[in-house]
Amino acid sequence: MTWDKVAVDVVGLALIGFIVWFFWLVKVKGVKAALTSGGYQEQMVLVKGGYTPDVIVVEAGKPVRLNFVRQESASCSEMVLLPAFNKSARLPEGETVPVEFLPKEPGEYEFACQMGMFRGKLIVE
Amino acid sequence: MESTETARSAPSATTGVRAGVAGVRRVELPVSGLTCHNCVQAVERALRAVPGVTRATVNLAGGRAFVDYDPTEATVSALHEAVRSAGYRSDATKARFGIRGITCASCVTKIEGALLTTPGVLSASVSVGMEEAEVEYLPSVADLAAVKAAVGSAGYQVVEAPAPAGPDALDREAKARELEYRSLMRKWWFGAVIGVFTMILSYPWIFPGLRDWFPRGSPQLWYVWAGMGVASFAVLLYSGSQFFTGAWDALKHRSANMHTLIALGTGVAWVYSTIALLFPQIFPASEFTEVYYDVTVVVTALVVLGLAMELRAKGRTSEAIKKLIGLQAKTARVVRDGKEVDIPVEEVLVGDTVVVRPGEKVPVDGEISEGSSAVDESMVTGESLPVEKKVGDEVIGATLNKTGAFRFRATKVGKDTALASIIRMVQDAQGSKVPVQRIVDVVSGYFTPSVAILAILGFMTWYTVGPEPRIVFALIVAVTTLIIACPCALGMATPMSLTTGIGLGALNGILIRGGEALQTAQKLQTIILDKTGTITHGKPVLTDVVAAGGVKEEELLRLAGGVEKSSEHPLAAAIVEGAKGRGFTLPDAEGFNAIPGHGIEARVEGRALLLGNLKFMRDRKIPLDGLDARALELADGGKTPMFVAIDGKPAGIVAVADTVKEDSKEAIRALRGMGLEVVMITGDNERTAKAIARQVGIERVLAEVLPQDKAFNVQKLQLEGKQVAMVGDGINDAPALAQADVGFAIGTGTDVAIAASDITLIKGSLRGVVTAIRISQATMRNVYQNLVGAFIYNVLGLPIALGILYPVLGILLSPLLAAIAMSFSSVTVIANANRLKRWKPRAA
């Protein structure tokens, strides 16, 4: 084994390690939804290449309103689904679309685009 | 409803309507429950008794009260209250809307105050928590715009509930899609043109003429390649921009997608080529210093073309919903203040009288109040034959009036109409997920990073143990692997089919609530049919008249009908209808006496008539002369026989029965043909139930089941380990529908949003069940085809790209072929989903 082969393998393994760490091992801290005077826990979600923020923390038993704003034209993201709450919404570009629901049980729920390329998580405490 | 004191004497200026008029004001109140002239007087008296009312007239036919009153003394609420206290109803409409800016309890009183002083508003309650107001108002006096204006005048803003997507929104969407398509096509042409030159000039030694101009390793070739480097960079920047921005946006969210893979693949090829071009000395041999700009350019161009084709195909997937939305009528002709006016359909209010002429669309849902016609409801129910409609029948918005002119009272408008509910349900369902999708979701979360890891492993392996030139092989393998992987095909497999399948259902009068119902419906084993209203019409009709003792059949029926006219028994109505249907004028009966559980006696045309069951005849000692045997025969056929005796002598039998719908038998045969076990459930006695079951070809019957036990019976069948569907009406059978694995509700006209059901059949026919199951089978077959196809594609494509065939067959995939394969695979998935649209319901 020559030195260049060793170098390529070492770099390759390091890259693989980085991919595993970057995509799967890092835990993202969530953003806590703000409580409005109307009693809703509101959070703005930007839809552009993904959901920002993509981890949202809310309290159980209080209504939640997620305001989605889609700022891209890729047809992938034109819908957002919250299968756990049986909600879905079409997101026209540039419009704010509110999605309201009441999380009853604590737990982690996913929201995603129709193809599952964009994902976000709702942590109910 | 809170009664408002008449003292609240505010000549309100808060509405835009009829406000600020000094002196006597006139309102038109809808009054219902008026049946006779006495009622008219009672209502008029009650209204005139209200202080401030100067004149009150009530129109019996129109069901309206016209009241002149002094707004400083009386309010509309007081008038409304007066009508109510006289024992009649004045129909009010309820509206609920969101209000922005409610921050404190004092806002509530302010808004409520503003609403209550609006003429026509009867009650208003505002909730701080929900930021909502619920207002009850008389649509003839105030309209919703006036109510909202009142909120505005108090300094708050009304939040509109999101309306169902109108044609405009769809147009916008289509336009955006068209723009995107054009931009992609421009990118494709740019990439394609440069791609042709790059491909030729990357291998000039293949082409006879070029061979002499640009020999291998010559300085001229170096300059050409440098030019290509710049041109291909331009292609990356312009044609490939979405891959790089998409990859970057995804990376910020710690995720990776198709864009990441394409960006990596084309980027790596470009960077390698540029290094080889600029610093050939770092490579050990000259064959390493070739460039791969052609890979960069052609892959980018091909994938962009694939995206454009995908966009085109996707636009077609949602055609069904576009068709539904396009059905909405734009204008309506309503009667306001006695005149016919054309108004936009959004402004039609509940209670309005709408005029429809032949050839026009019915604008909203309602009940015919005048006239009759044949209405083509195929667009909503899927029923191809026009339906005859007469006074009292329901009409559905968006259907087409064929022959006659009629007027109807609007009962559901705006987002409450059947069509709007259908559109909303279909949109929700199209956005839902098929349970199999969950596996895909898990897989796709790991897919893209795994492909990147595979590409790195491939590079390492080829570099470490591969043949020379190692770095070239390693590079090609890594780039090909990145490009051939197609997470999109996997991700699009189910949503595309689901959208098409649910749209297909909607166009055939079948509303499927979501992917789960769809997936379950195609693996059903047992189907339970409720008898009344599902297999049968749910309404008894006269079936047999058996005359005896020298009485003529017509005579028997005419007299029996005359007696039954006074009865309130549901079976009596069937006899009366049957007699009238044969054109008889029914005589009046006197001395009517109903004996519960036995029958009735009365005198009609001077003759004593007895009508009742066997026990009744025995009690009255009527000799039956063999009529009882005939009755038994009828009962065996599922009919209910009633004996008639005239002047103490037997005169015959009239039999009524709930008849089987014309197409039930066929539908049940089709269901059995699909291998389903068909079970009938009913509250009827065993004999009647068996008789009906025989007629339609059902073997297993659950008879004498109390309504509350239906759900339990569904569960019993489920405990046999079967996937059970229940078909029934959405109201009485709701618990059983909810208990079943799939609940089919037989819809009745406009009432389509039936909560307990998974699948709603708008047309009340069992054939819909057959079609629904066939659609779900076709859709799920399509889903599996797509999933398996996408899965196999990736499972085969990745190892080939990694060069697994090279040691055996010496085949190594070119990155260009990989780009074609990957674009082709995602277009195939969509094309396959679109194929579903050509599915036609077979005659069942």
- Chain B contact for A22 (CB, 8 A cutoff): yes
Alpha-carbon distance of B527 to B770, in angstroms, equals: 11
Q: What is the pLDDT of residues B581-616, one digit of tens each?
A: 888 888 888 888 888 778 888 888 888 888 888 888
> What DSSP string describes B327-338?
TS-SEEEEEETT
Q: What is the pLDDT of residue B236?
A: 92
* Residue A90 to residues A81, B160, B382, B397, B833, Cα–Cα distance (Å): 9, 17, 27, 25, 20
State the DSSP code for B280.
Answer: G
Going by pLDDT thresholds of 50, 70 and 90, the confidence category of residue B749 is: low
State mean pLDDT over A47-71: 84
State mean pLDDT over B781-795: 89
Q: What is the pLDDT of residue B186?
A: 94
Q: List all residues 6 or more positions away from A82 whose beta carbon is below 8 Å from its beta carbon.
A: A88, A99, A101, A109, A110, A111, A122
Instruction: Take residue B387 and report the two structure tokens written for it.
Output: 């339906």
Identify which of A1, A23, A83 has the shortest CB distance to residue B254: A23
Q: What is the pLDDT of residue B10?
A: 36
Instruction: Take residue B407 and report the two structure tokens written for it.
Output: 């007027």
Rounded to 10 degrees, the C-alpha dihedral B43/B44/B48/B49 comes to -30
State the DSSP code for B35.
Answer: -
Q: What is the ipTM of this complex?
A: 0.72
- What is the β-pairing status of strands B724-729 and B742-746? parallel
Q: Is the pLDDT of residue B556 over 80?
A: yes
Q: What is the pLDDT of residue B192?
A: 92
**What does residue B334 show for φ and ψ, rounded to 5 degrees?**
-120, 160
**What does residue B747 show for φ and ψ, rounded to 5 degrees?**
-80, 155
Highest mean predicted confidence (pLDDT) among B189-193, B443-447, B550-554: B189-193
Alpha-carbon distance of B571 to B716, in angstroms, equals: 33
Length of chain A: 125
State mean pLDDT over B98-118: 72
Q: Is the pLDDT of residue B409 over 80?
A: yes
The angle that helices B105-116 and B144-153 make with each other, rounded to 10 degrees, is 140
State mean pLDDT over A91-115: 82
State mean pLDDT over B739-758: 72
State the DSSP code for B89.
Answer: B
Q: Is the pLDDT of residue B825 over 80?
A: yes
Give the whole-number percent of chain B exceeding pLDDT 90.
Answer: 11
Q: Is the pLDDT of residue B730 over 90?
A: no
Name residue, tokens 């999708």: B437
Q: What is the pLDDT of residues B619-640, one digit of tens each?
A: 888 888 778 888 888 888 778 8
Q: List all residues 6 or more positions away from B760 whose beta carbon is below 8 Å from its beta carbon.
A: B425, B510, B511, B513, B730, B744, B745, B747, B752, B753, B754
Identify which of B257, B432, B449 has the shortest CB distance to residue A19: B449
- Residues of B with a known catalytic role: 530
| Nearest of B748, B750, B724, B749 to residue B737 by alpha carbon | B724
State mean pLDDT over B354-375: 89
- Chain A contact for B250 (CB, 8 A cutoff): yes
Q: Is the pLDDT of residue B215 over 90?
A: no
Q: Is the pLDDT of residue B171 over 90?
A: no
What does the radius of gyration of chain B's CA atoms come to, in whole angstroms?
37
| Nearest of B384, B393, B402, B422 to residue B663 by alpha carbon | B384
State mean pLDDT over A7-36: 84
Tell me which of B107, B464, B473 to substitute to probe the interface with A (most A C-beta atoms closer than 10 Å).
B464
Q: Is the pLDDT of residue B53 over 50?
A: yes
Alpha-carbon distance of B244 to A112, in angstroms, equals: 22
Q: What is the pLDDT of residue B315?
A: 74
Q: Which residues in chain B (100-129) have CB-CB distances under 8 A to chain A?
A: 102-103, 128-129
Q: What is the largest CA-CA distance in chain B?
A: 125
E strand intervals along B793-833: none
**Contact across the interface for B176 and A93, Cβ inside 8 Å:** yes
Instruction: Take residue A2 and report the two structure tokens written for it.
Output: 């020559």
- Chain B contact for A2 (CB, 8 A cutoff): no
Instruction: Take residue A55 and report the two structure tokens written for it.
Output: 């981890």
State mean pLDDT over B49-59: 81
Q: What is the pLDDT of residues B221-239, one digit of tens each?
A: 888 888 999 999 999 999 9
Q: How many angstroms away from the CA of B463 is the closest CA of chain A?
A: 7
Q: Is the pLDDT of residue B162 over 50?
A: no
Alpha-carbon distance of A40 to A43, in angstroms, equals: 9
List the beta bridge partners of residue B339.
B336
Q: What is the pLDDT of residues B291-341, one digit of tens each?
A: 788 888 988 998 898 888 888 877 777 777 777 888 888 888 888 777 888
Alpha-carbon distance of A31 to A51, in angstroms, equals: 12
* Residue B842 to residues B464, B504, B771, Cα–Cα distance (Å): 61, 14, 8
The identity of residue B611, as a single letter, is L
SS3 category, B652 = strand
SS3 category, B414 = helix
SS3 category, B453 = helix
- For residue B533, the Cα-to-chain-centroid distance in whole angstroms is 22
Q: Which residues of B touch A97 (CB under 8 A)?
A: 162
State mean pLDDT over B453-479: 87
Q: What is the pLDDT of residues B189-199, one digit of tens each?
A: 999 999 998 88
Going by pLDDT thresholds of 50, 70 and 90, the confidence category of residue A14 is: very high
Alpha-carbon distance of B12 to B16, in angstroms, equals: 10
| Nearest of B307, B320, B301 to residue B177 by alpha carbon | B307
* Residue B96 to residues B123, B124, B159, B160, B349, Cα–Cα distance (Å): 12, 10, 10, 10, 14
> What DSSP string describes B543-560?
EEEEE-TT--HHHHHHHH
Q: What is the pLDDT of residue B745?
A: 86
- Chain A contact for B423 (CB, 8 A cutoff): no
Alpha-carbon distance of B737 to B528, in angstroms, equals: 10
Alpha-carbon distance of B565 to B351, in angstroms, equals: 32
State mean pLDDT over B499-516: 86
Q: Which residues in chain B (164-183) have CB-CB distances under 8 A to chain A?
A: 165, 169, 172-173, 176-177, 180
E strand intervals along B47-191: 53-59, 64-69, 93-100, 121-127, 132-137, 157-159
Q: What is the pLDDT of residues B637-665, one digit of tens each?
A: 778 888 888 888 888 888 888 888 888 88
What predicted TM-score, i.e. pTM, was given to this entire model? 0.70
Going by pLDDT thresholds of 50, 70 and 90, the confidence category of residue B110 is: confident
**Contact across the interface for A73 and B456, Cβ inside 8 Å:** no
SS3 category, B173 = helix
Instruction: Take residue B574 and report the two structure tokens written for it.
Output: 């069937």
A-to-B residue pairs, Cβ atoms closer than 8 angstroms: 121
Which H, E and C letters describe chain A, residue by residue? Answer: CCHHHHHHHHHHHHHHHHHHHHHHHCCCCCEECEECCCCCEEEEEEECCCEECCEEEECCCCCEEEEEEECCCCHHHCEEEEHHHCEEEECCECCEEEEEECCCCCEEEEEEECCCCCEEEEEEC
Q: What is the pLDDT of residues A77-90, one digit of tens each?
A: 778 888 777 777 88
Q: What is the pLDDT of residues B483-494, one digit of tens each?
A: 888 777 777 778
| Nearest of B2, B5, B62 to residue B29 by alpha carbon | B62
- For residue B735, the Cα-to-chain-centroid distance in whole angstroms is 21
Which chain A residue has its CA at the smallest distance from B245's CA?
A49
State mean pLDDT over A62-74: 82
List the beta bridge partners of residue B389.
B373
Q: What is the pLDDT of residue B288?
A: 58
3-state helix, strand, coil in chain B (%, to 5): 50, 20, 30
Q: Is the pLDDT of residue B578 over 90?
A: no
Which chain B residue has its CA at the smallest distance from A8's CA?
B460
| Nearest of B277, B780, B841 to residue B510 by alpha carbon | B841
Q: CA-based angle B117:B120:B123, to the nearest 5?
A: 65
Name residue, tokens 């098409």: B500
Q: What is the pLDDT of residues B512-551, one digit of tens each?
A: 888 888 889 988 999 999 888 788 887 788 888 888 877 8
- Whether residue B20 contacts residue B11, with contact meaning beta carbons closer than 8 Å, is answered with yes
Instruction: Take residue B208 and report the two structure tokens written for it.
Output: 């006879």
Alpha-carbon distance of B727 to B745, in angstroms, equals: 6
Q: Which residues of A touch B254 (CB under 8 A)?
A: 22-23, 26, 28
Q: Look at B30-39, B178-187, B794-803 and tell me which has the smallest mean pLDDT.
A: B30-39
What does the radius of gyration of chain A's CA atoms come to, in whole angstroms?
19
- What is the β-pairing status of strands B353-356 and B406-412? antiparallel
Q: What is the largest CA-CA distance in chain A?
A: 69
State the DSSP code for B104.
Answer: S
State mean pLDDT over B34-49: 75
Q: What is the pLDDT of residue B704?
A: 85
Average pLDDT of chain B is: 80
Please report, for chain B, how many H helices and E strands are present, in that order.
28, 29
Q: Cis before residue B435, ω within 30 degrees of 0?
A: no
Q: What is the pLDDT of residue B233?
A: 93
Q: What is the pLDDT of residues B113-146, one digit of tens each?
A: 778 777 777 777 776 655 677 777 776 666 677 7
B634 or B173, higher pLDDT: B634
State mean pLDDT over B778-801: 90
Q: What is the pLDDT of residue B606?
A: 83
Q: What is the pLDDT of residue B101?
A: 65
State the DSSP code for B758.
Answer: S
| Nearest of B227, B225, B210, B220 to residue B290 by alpha carbon | B225
Q: Is the pLDDT of residue B85 over 90?
A: no
List the beta bridge partners of residue B746.
B729, B761
State the DSSP code for B285.
Answer: S
- Chain B contact for A104 (CB, 8 A cutoff): no
| Other beta carbons within 10 Å of B455 | 27
Highest mean predicted confidence (pLDDT) among B9-23, B64-78, B479-493: B479-493
Q: What is the pLDDT of residues A41-50, one digit of tens each?
A: 888 888 887 7
Name residue, tokens 């979501």: B514
- Whether residue B587 contacts residue B562, with contact meaning beta carbons closer than 8 Å, is answered with yes
Q: What is the pLDDT of residue B614?
A: 83
* Backbone φ/ψ region at B638: left (φ over 0), alpha (ψ -120 to 50), beta: left
Average pLDDT of chain A is: 82
Q: Which residues in chain B (285-324) have CB-CB distances under 8 A to chain A?
A: 311, 314
Q: What is the pLDDT of residue B36?
A: 65
Q: Look at B227-231, B671-675, B836-840 and tell me which has the smallest mean pLDDT.
A: B836-840
Q: What is the pLDDT of residue B680?
A: 92
**What does residue B615 show for φ and ψ, rounded to 5 degrees?**
-60, -40
